[in-house]
């Protein structure tokens, strides 16, 4: 065993010197941080203002659309104020902006009725830290500009569209208060739009044909549908309000009826009495294992690739022959296994520590979601189960990789075997988002009892309280499979480590694994 530990130390030292090890050690936490932070920064800083022209020949729908866009901007303002308060206000018994927090779906109406941004900033100012910067008002994502000079709003929609196409294609620019800008969209509302309204109950023959009057939304950017959806929602809401009035109904009363609802509480019978309500933390607790599954899969895949490359490189460079003059094949195999395992544990330790640091930093900054994720990770059993399943999963797959590496002389020869192993390992990734939806269903339970998938599937079921028979039974089966894999692959390793020439077929490898040693 002493020689196996010496080999393990050598493997660890050699791998730790590699640039790839340090890149993977620090690159993954950076990617984890950037995957959380960059989308937020891009949404706040890099999303361009989209300019549009609105031609309303009915002369009645433009104010409705503009009011809806202002409403959306006010909600954006409220979110910015909440983030500003979380980040720069001092702790106090009365939470800042509590009126907005308790307003529910009518938060914008409450915000505007109280006086908007100025009122709530004045309310917040006594609770701000001494070094708090000034509040930065978010910009409007969509801003209306006037029609270019020479284009008449009274022209036909086809003529308007043809005149605006050069501006929409970026060949020309329109004037805005800040100067010439590109035109992102054109909204054209015909004066006879009422003739194209679709009403339920009409016969198929009476439905508007393709040439019927309709709103035209012109844009070359189909990736951001927010403006189109806002226009559609605002216009349809106004059309329905007019329908109410035309039928002699009280529009205000109908809106009150539409806002009437029966409250529904989501409750979990497994939770402690009095705390059965399901909240955001429960949703995070359900989906957090999927993140650990991906981290587990990435760690095992990266480390076994490292082990394969290391074994084949030493075999092709004849270093293996020098090592086998001092240690037995079994000691060499165990040393490699332990050394790369130590490298893997180092990587995993840094990754998990980075996760805690990033979540702790973000939760102390401005992210309520990060605080909730941190609480779930700390109070759950995800990290201990992750360590257990990583250990067994790594040893099992590493045994297979050592066997493959021992019979291959080049990386190219090992690619066919690795292709098969990669296909096998893709199943946990493909089912990663399905398992949390039905963690104790037939598919999850069947895959849990397949040892190759046990570490990933049971990790994904960790927060769902799987049956004890699954929890204990699969762990015992995984342990037995890992021991069997080490024993069988050890036999292949002893026979193949000094072998040269064409690598054996898969069936021949299986015969080596099950045949008794002479």
| SS3 assignment, position 210 | coil
State the pLDDT at residue 363.
56
State the pLDDT at residue 361.
67
Phi-psi region of 468 (alpha: psi -120 to 50; beta: other; left: phi over 0): alpha
**Locus of tokens 């080596």:** 512
Q: Is 499 exposed, middle or buried (0-12, 13-18, 19+ CB in 10 A)?
A: middle
Q: What is the Cα Rg of the chain in Å? A: 32
State the pLDDT at residue 143.
92
State the pLDDT at residue 2.
72
Phi-psi region of 179 (alpha: psi -120 to 50; beta: other; left: phi over 0): left
217 strand-pairing partners = 187
- In angstroms, rounded to a whole number, what is the distance separating the alpha carbons of residues 130 and 354? 30
Farthest-apart Cα atoms in the chain, separation: 99
Buried b (16+ CB within 10 A) or exposed e, 384-393: ebbebbbbbb
Residue among 357, 359, 320, 245 at smallest CA distance from 494: 320
- In angstroms, rounded to a whole number, what is the distance separating the alpha carbons of residues 456 and 459? 5
State the pLDDT at residue 204.
45
Map out the domains of the chain as residue ranges: 2-31+279-514, 49-199+210-249
State the pLDDT at residue 207.
47
- In angstroms, rounded to a whole number, what is the distance separating the alpha carbons of residues 295 and 35? 14
Antiparallel, parallel or unpaired: β 185-189 and 216-219? antiparallel
Length of the chain: 518
Mutual orientation of helices 2-17 and 19-41 as an angle, nearest 10°? 50
Q: How many CA atoms lie within 13 A of 196 on its CB side?
A: 14
| Ranges of the chain with pLDDT below 50 | 203-208, 364-366
């Amino acid at each position: 065993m002493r020689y196996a530990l010496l080999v393990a130390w050598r493997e660890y030292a050699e791998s730790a010197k590699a640039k790839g090890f340090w890149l993977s050690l620090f690159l993954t936490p950076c990617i984890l941080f950037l995957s959380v932070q960059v989308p937020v920064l891009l949404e706040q800083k890099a999303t361009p203002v989209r300019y549009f022209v609105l031609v309303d020949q009915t002369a009645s729908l433009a104010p409705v659309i503009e009011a809806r866009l202002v409403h959306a901007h006010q909600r954006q303002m409220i979110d910015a104020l909440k983030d500003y308060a979380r980040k720069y206000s001092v702790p106090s018994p009365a939470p800042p902006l509590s009126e907005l927090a308790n307003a529910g779906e009518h938060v914008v109406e409450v915000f505007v009725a109280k006086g908007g941004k100025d009122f709530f900033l004045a309310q917040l100012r006594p609770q701000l830290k001494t070094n708090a910067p000034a509040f930065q008002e978010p910009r409007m994502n969509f801003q209306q500009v006037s029609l270019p000079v020479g284009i008449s709003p009274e022209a036909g929609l086809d003529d308007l569209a043809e005149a605006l196409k050069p501006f929409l294609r970026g060949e020309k620019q329109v004037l805005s208060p800040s100067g010439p800008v590109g035109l992102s969209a054109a909204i054209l509302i015909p004066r006879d739009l009422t003739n194209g309204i679709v009403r339920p109950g009409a016969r198929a023959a009476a439905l508007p044909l393709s040439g019927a009057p309709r709103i035209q939304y012109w844009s070359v950017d189909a990736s951001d549908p927010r403006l189109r959806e806002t226009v559609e929602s605002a216009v349809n809401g106004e059309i329905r309000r007019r329908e109410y009035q035309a039928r002699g109904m009280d529009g205000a009363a109908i809106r009150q009826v539409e806002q009437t609802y029966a409250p529904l509480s989501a409750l979990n019978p497994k939770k402690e009495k009095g705390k059965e309500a399901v909240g955001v933390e429960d949703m995070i607790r359900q989906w957090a294992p999927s993140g650990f599954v991906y981290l587990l899969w990435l760690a095992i895949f990266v480390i076994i690739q490292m082990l394969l490359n290391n074994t084949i490189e030493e075999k092709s460079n004849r270093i293996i022959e020098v090592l086998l003059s001092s240690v037995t094949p079994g000691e060499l195999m165990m040393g490699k296994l332990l050394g790369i395992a130590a490298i893997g544990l180092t990587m995993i330790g840094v990754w998990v520590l980075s996760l805690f640091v990033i979540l702790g930093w973000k939760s102390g900054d401005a992210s309520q979601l990060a605080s909730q994720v941190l609480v779930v990770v700390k109070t759950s059993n995800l990290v201990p189960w992750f360590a257990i399943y990583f250990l067994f999963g790594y040893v099992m797959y590493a045994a297979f990789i050592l066997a493959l590496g021992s019979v291959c002389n080049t990386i190219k020869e090992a690619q066919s075997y690795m292709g098969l192993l990669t296909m096998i390992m893709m199943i946990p990734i493909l089912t990663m988002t399905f398992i949390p939806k039905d963690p104790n269903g037939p598919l999850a339970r069947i895959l849990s009892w397949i040892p190759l998938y046990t570490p990933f599937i049971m990790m994904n079921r960790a927060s769902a309280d799987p049956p004890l028979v699954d929890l204990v039974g699969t762990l015992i089966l995984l342990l037995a499979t890992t021991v069997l894999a080490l024993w069988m692959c050890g036999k292949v390793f002893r026979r193949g480590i000094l072998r040269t020439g064409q690598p054996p077929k898969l069936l021949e490898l299986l015969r080596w694994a099950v045949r008794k040693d002479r």
